[in-house]
Amino acid sequence: MIPVTGYDGQRVAVLGLGRSGLSAGRALRAGGAHVLAWDDNPEARDMAAEEGFEIKDLSRDGAFDDIACLIVSPGIPHLYPQPNKAVANALQAGVPVDNDIGLFFASLGGADWAVHDVAPRVVAVTGSNGKSTTSALIHHVLHEAGKDVQLAGNIGRGVLDIDPPGDGGVVVLELSSYQTELARALTPDVAVFTNLSPDHLDRHAGLGGYFAAKRRLFAEGGPDRAVIGIDEPEGLFMAGQLATAPGDDRVIRISVERKLAGPGWSVFARKGFLSEYRKGKQQGAIDLRDIKGLPGQHNHQNACAAYAACRSLGLSPKVIERAFHSFAGLPHRSQVIAEKDGVTFVNDSKATNVDSALKALNAFANIRWICGGLQKEGGLAGLEPGLRNVLKAYVIGRDAAQFALQLTGTEAETCTTMQTAVARAMADAQPGETVLLAPAAASFDQYDNFEKRGEDFIAQVRARL
DSSP β-ladder status, 121-126 and 190-193: parallel
Establish whether 130 is an annotated binding residue: yes
CA distance 144 to 32: 37
- Which of 397, 433, 392, 430 minimizes the C-alpha distance to 413? 392
In angstroms, what is the C-alpha Rg of the chain? 23
Establish whether 127 is an annotated binding residue: yes
**Which run of H or of E encompasses 435?**
strand 434-437
Residue pair 413/394 in contact (Cβ under 8 Å)? The answer is: yes
Establish whether 132 is an annotated binding residue: yes
CA distance 45 to 55: 7
Query: Residue 190's Cα: distance from chain center in Å?
Result: 16
Establish whether 279 is an annotated binding residue: no
DSSP β-ladder status, 281-287 and 273-278: antiparallel
**Which run of H or of E encompasses 71?**
strand 69-72
CA distance 77 to 84: 6
CA distance 354 to 381: 8
CA distance 355 to 129: 8
Establish whether 133 is an annotated binding residue: yes
CA distance 396 to 414: 7
Residue 212: half-sphere exposure toward Cβ, Cα within 13 Å: 9
Establish whether 177 is an annotated binding residue: no
**Which run of H or of E encompasses 458?**
helix 450-464
Known binding-site residue numbers: 127-133
Known binding-site residue numbers for ATP: 127-133
